[in-house]
Amino acid sequence: MRGGRLRTRALCILALGWCGLLATACDRGDHPTRIGVSAPQFTVRDGTQTVDLAKLRGHTVVLNFWATWCIPCIEEVPSLVELQRRMPQLTVIAISEDEDAGVYRQFLTDNHVDFVTVRDPSARIRKMYGSIKIPETYVIDSGGVLRRKFVSAQDWTSPEIMDYLGKLQGTAKIGI
Amino acid sequence: MTQVDVLYRYGVPPAERAVLALSKVRDVYGVRRMVLDEKAKTVRVEYDASRLTGAVIHQLLRRAGLDIVETVSMIPEPEDVAPALPLNPSVA
């Protein structure tokens, strides 16, 4: 009798333990929280360039956070240039955290960066997106929804990424 | 993730501008920790080797304006060991 009660109690404790383990194992908390929601709207001016995200509604936007002093960031710049060249229907926007306007301008000239870039030295926009490190890139669909976040430098001309962006534009065209 | 530590010795102490630039290096993906030891004139960087390389870390610090003199080995030097005594001193 007493043995049966003890066994039941032990089974209950075991079951509760398993439930706890399952609950913690399922939610590791490392999924970007903002994916699938509307991208934070912003307007940024640096005296040379102005970017208003609201005006890009209807376009797929690749929003990249970078700086000229950030080596991994500048490593991915050529592939972003190439991405914009190969997919002119999407808009690449790079927001730089450079404080020195001269160094920033010189970098753009030297590296023939011809996609849209704008300087935000206070990192206001990056913080708005909840990013803490660079390089980081968000893909925003034509409806203004954040679809994907890429951390660290990427090869933007890799078949996987090109295919993903192509499909995203395809779904936008047929209104999905 | 592969965590790696690297230690550099610097020559000229970083000016305020360089210190500010160095603090920004922490914002780069893969840089996990950075400790500047003014007394020992060293900077220790802990980074994720699956994202960055030692060369990238070196360049990040140089671009921030740090006068890196050398990379310091983090493996402790073996202590001086007394020469072994002959097995049978009477034979020698």
**Is the CB of residue B30 less than 8 Å away from at least one CB of chain A?**
yes
One domain for residues A60 and A16: no
Inter-chain residue contact A69 with B59, CB threshold 8 Å: no
- Could you list the residue range(s) of the whole structural domain that residue A151 is in? 43-173
In a domain, residue A37? The reply is no
Q: Given its phi and psi angles, is residue A135 left (phi above 0), alpha (psi -120 to 50 degrees) or beta?
A: beta
One domain for residues A67 and A143: yes
Task: Identify the CA nearest to B54 among candidates B74, B79, B80.
Answer: B74
- Distance from the A127 Cα atom to the nearest Cα atom in chain B, whole angstroms: 12
One domain for residues A69 and A90: yes
What pLDDT is stored for residue B75 in this prediction?
82
Residues of A in contact with B56 (CB under 8 A): 71-72
pLDDT(A27) > 80: no
One domain for residues A3 and A60: no
Domain count of chain A?
2
**Is the CB of residue A136 less than 8 Å away from at least one CB of chain B?**
yes
CB B36 within 8 Å of CB B61? no
Inter-chain residue contact A151 with B24, CB threshold 8 Å: no
**Is the CB of residue A168 less than 8 Å away from at least one CB of chain B?**
no
**What would the pLDDT profile of B2-20 be if each residue is shown by its tens digit?**
999 999 999 999 999 999 9
Task: Identify the CA nearest to A80 among candidates A164, A167, A162.
Answer: A162
What pLDDT is stored for residue A165 in this prediction?
97
What pLDDT is stored for residue A45 in this prediction?
94
Locate the domains of chain B by residue range: 3-72
Minimal Cβ distance to A134: which of B29, B52, B56: B29
**Is the CB of residue B58 less than 8 Å away from at least one CB of chain A?**
no
Q: Testing the interface with B: which of A71, A75, A131 to mutate, by most B Cβ within 10 A?
A: A71
Q: What is the pTM of this model?
A: 0.79
Task: Identify the CA nearest to B7 among candidates B59, B63, B46, B55.
Answer: B46
What pLDDT is stored for residue A25 in this prediction?
47
> Considering chain B, what percentage of its residues have pLDDT values greater than 90?
76
Residue A30 CB neighbours (<10 A)? 5
* CATH 3.30.70.100 assigned to B3-72: yes
Residue A123 CB neighbours (<10 A)? 18
pLDDT averaged over every residue in chain A = 87
pLDDT band for position A78 (50/70/90)? very high
CATH number at residue A143: 3.40.30.10
Burial of B10 (0-12, 13-18, 19+ CB in 10 A): buried
**What would the pLDDT profile of A86-96 be if each residue is shown by its tens digit?**
999 999 999 99
Inter-chain residue contact B60 with A69, CB threshold 8 Å: yes
One domain for residues A14 and A54: no
pLDDT(A106) > 90: yes
- Distance from the B71 Cα atom to the nearest Cα atom in chain A, whole angstroms: 19
Q: Does residue B49 or residue A1 have the better pLDDT?
A: B49
What pLDDT is stored for residue A13 in this prediction?
65
One domain for residues A151 and A73: yes
CB A133 within 8 Å of CB B32? no
ipTM for the whole complex:
0.74
What pLDDT is stored for residue A28 in this prediction?
45
Q: Residue A74 half-sphere exposure, CB side, CA atoms within 13 Å?
A: 17
Helix (H, G, I), strand (E, B), or coil: what is residue A36?
A: coil
> How far is Cα A173 from Cα B18, in angstroms, rounded to an integer?
49
Which residue in A has a C-alpha nearest to residue B58's C-alpha? A71
> Considering chain A, what percentage of its residues have pLDDT values greater than 70?
80
- Residues 6 or more apart whose Cβ sits within 8 Å of residue A112: A81
One domain for residues A141 and A70: yes
Look up residue A147 and give its two tokens.
């679809």
- Residues 6 or more apart whose Cβ sits within 8 Å of residue A141: A60, A147, A168, A171, A172
In a domain, residue A107? The reply is yes
In a domain, residue A36? The reply is no
